[in-house]
Amino acid sequence: MGKRAEIRGVLYDMDGTILNTEHVHYDGWELAFRETGLPFRPEYIQAMRGVNREKQAVLFEDWFHGAADYERMHRIRSEYCDRWFAEHGIEVFPGYRELDTWFREHNILRALCSGTREEVIRKEYASVGLEFDYDAWVCGNQVTNCKPAPDIFLMGAERLGIPPENCLVLEDSRNGVLAGYAAGCQVIMVPDIDQATEDLREKTIAVCTSLLEVRDLMISIMGHD
């Protein structure tokens, strides 16, 4: 991989990276489009990944020019997700706990940088028994410009007190990879729904199949276990 800046901090995405929720969100949006009679396209969901509600509403206006009731559609999607998670629970992706423990043991500062609102994050973490114990966090209602803009990762790095080039971004989505790259961070993509296209691979230091693979890569990069 060649010589790279020392990694001193990690900036985590949440949905699709830590929590296996994106497929439920996808199905919820598909239901919302169906119930409101609007044409559904997978690229709509891709564009909304990592984007807060305010920006999503702007996207709907751009796509449908007033023909979509975003708040109603968001409510349909949220109620679907709530029902699904209440029945099935939320899965933490395999390897997250081990990777996060490794970062803490090796004094890598940790920030959560998620487009989801903080109150939702804390509720979901509590439901799966995860500690919300990051050194810093930036949530969707705390930035003006959402992914793929770099703002959320720049703010995360700033709150950790670490230059972006010394931060590792862990992301599953196209918007997230683009945001991490634009912020000047080192990016590893762990694909979930979005695939690692060639243009995305060029913006990462690696594409991994799991968070356990990320941990093994960190051991290799940093030279200790």
Cβ pair 175, 51 in contact under 8 A: yes
Give the Cβ contact number of residue 165 at 10 Å: 15
* Tens-digit pLDDT profile for residues 126-184: 999 999 999 999 998 888 888 999 999 999 999 999 999 999 999 999 999 999 999 99
Phi then psi for residue 223, to 5 deg, are 80, 20
β-strand pairing of 9-12 with 109-113: parallel
Q: Both tokens of residue 165?
A: 């080039």
Is 4 a residue whose pLDDT tops 50?
yes
Q: How confident is the model at residue 55 (pLDDT cuts 50, 70, 90)?
A: confident
In order, the DSSP letters of 96-121 are HHHHHHHHHHTT-EEEEE-SS-HHHH
* Tens-digit pLDDT profile for residues 68-80: 999 999 999 999 9
For the purposes of burial, counting CB atoms within 10 Å of the CB of 203, is it exposed (0-12), middle (13-18) or buried (19 or more)? middle
Give the Cβ contact number of residue 108 at 10 Å: 21
Strand ranges for 4-154 from DSSP E: 9-12, 109-113, 136-138
Q: How far apart are CA 109 and CA 7, in angstroms?
A: 10
Q: For residue 51, what pLDDT is reported?
A: 83
Q: Is the pTM of this model over 0.75?
A: yes
Q: For residue 143, what pLDDT is reported?
A: 87
Is 193 a residue whose pLDDT tops 70?
yes
* Tens-digit pLDDT profile for residues 199-212: 999 999 999 999 99
Cβ neighbours of residue 204 under 8 Å, at least 6 residues apart?
A: 177, 181, 187, 188, 189, 196
Q: How far apart are CA 180 and CA 188, in angstroms?
A: 9
